[in-house]
Amino acid sequence: MTFEELLAVARDDPRIVGLFLGGSRGKGVNVRRESDYDVRVVIAREDAELERVLDTPRGEAVDVAIHTLEEFRAHALAGSGKEWDRYTFARGQVLVDKLEGEIQRLVDQKARLAPDEARRRARGALGAYLNSLYRSLESARLGLDLAARIHAAESAGHLLVALFALEGRVRPFHDSLAWELETEPLARWRTDELLTRIEKILDGAAEPQQALFREVERQVRPHGFGEEIDAWEPDVALMRGEQ
C-alpha cells in the first residue's frame, strides 16, 4: 500500500479516527528519495481484521504503527514505557482527525512538556548530567580514555534533555538536533556555540567539559537548580576546572 492509498483508506474508513505522519517526511527534514513514511494510525478500538490490513513489515516504504485511541492517549507520555518516542510528535503532521481536534490535541500534548513535568525532567536530567560529567573527569584523571569518552557522550545527552526541558520542550533525536535548534533556537544558547561545545566534549578531555559546565552552572542557578550542583560539593571545583 502506498502512502497515498493509506491516507485515502484512513479518510474513508470509519474505524480509523486519526492519522499522524512523523519522521523525516512529517517534519520535512533530512528527506531523501528513499525516506520512508513513518505513520501512526489511530483506530477507535481493537480490530484484528483492520490491524491485519494496515500492518506493514519493518523496512517497507510506508511504516505503519497502529494504536487504539486509548493507547494513543498514553503513548510516549511519562509512565508509558515509550517516552523515547516522544520527539516523534514534535513538528509532525496530523493528516486525519475525525474527533473534532482531539488527535491534534493529543499530539500537541506529546510534543511539549507541561510546566511541572518540564521542571521535574530538567531537575532529573541535570542530576544525571552532573553524575556523568564527574565520572568522565575522574576517568580522564585515571587515564581511562574510553570510559571518559563514553561518560562524556552520556553527559551530553542528559544535558540536552535538561536544556530543552527548561523551555518546555522535548529533546530531539540526534539526527534532528541541528535542524531543531535552527528551527527554534534555545533562548539562552547560540545554536552554533552549543553544537560546537557538545562536539568538543565528546573526546573526553577535561577542559572542554569544564568550560561547558561553567556556562551550564551560570544559566541554571537562576532557575532554582543550584542545590543540584551544590550537592556535588566538594567536587564542584573539579567540575569547574578550578583544581
Asked if residue 107 and residue 124 are part of one domain, the reply reads no
Instruction: For the chain of 243 residues, list the mean pLDDT of each consecutive stretch of 10.
Output: 94 97 92 89 93 84 94 94 95 97 97 95 97 98 97 98 97 95 95 96 97 96 94 96 87
Asked if residue 121 and residue 90 are part of one domain, the reply reads no
Asked if residue 126 and residue 72 are part of one domain, the reply reads no
Of the residues 111, 133, 152, the one at which a domain ends: 111
Residue 95: give its domain's CATH number: 3.30.460.10
Asked if residue 90 and residue 63 are part of one domain, the reply reads yes
Asked if residue 133 and residue 66 are part of one domain, the reply reads no
Residue 55: predicted pLDDT:
85
Of the residues 61, 84, 111, the one at which a domain ends: 111
Number of domains the chain is built from: 2
Residue 35: predicted pLDDT:
87
Q: What pTM value is reported for the model?
A: 0.92
Asked if residue 170 and residue 64 are part of one domain, the reply reads no
Amino acid 133 reads L
Distance CA(111)–CA(93), nearest Å, equals 11
Domain of 46?
Answer: 3-111
Residue 13: predicted pLDDT:
96
Q: Which residues have C-beta within 8 Å of that of residue 3, sequence separation ≥ 6?
A: 37, 39, 61, 62
Asked if residue 143 and residue 50 are part of one domain, the reply reads no
Residue 31: predicted pLDDT:
85
Of the residues 66, 87, 111, the one at which a domain ends: 111
Asked if residue 127 and residue 34 are part of one domain, the reply reads no
Task: Pull the grid cell for residue 148.
Answer: 571518559
Asked if residue 107 and residue 12 are part of one domain, the reply reads yes
Length of the chain: 243
Asked if residue 220 and residue 165 are part of one domain, the reply reads yes
Asked if residue 220 and residue 127 are part of one domain, the reply reads yes
Residue 140: predicted pLDDT:
96
Residue 165: predicted pLDDT:
97
Q: Are 78 and 117 in contact (CB under 8 A)?
A: yes
Residue 34: predicted pLDDT:
83
Residue 1: predicted pLDDT:
86
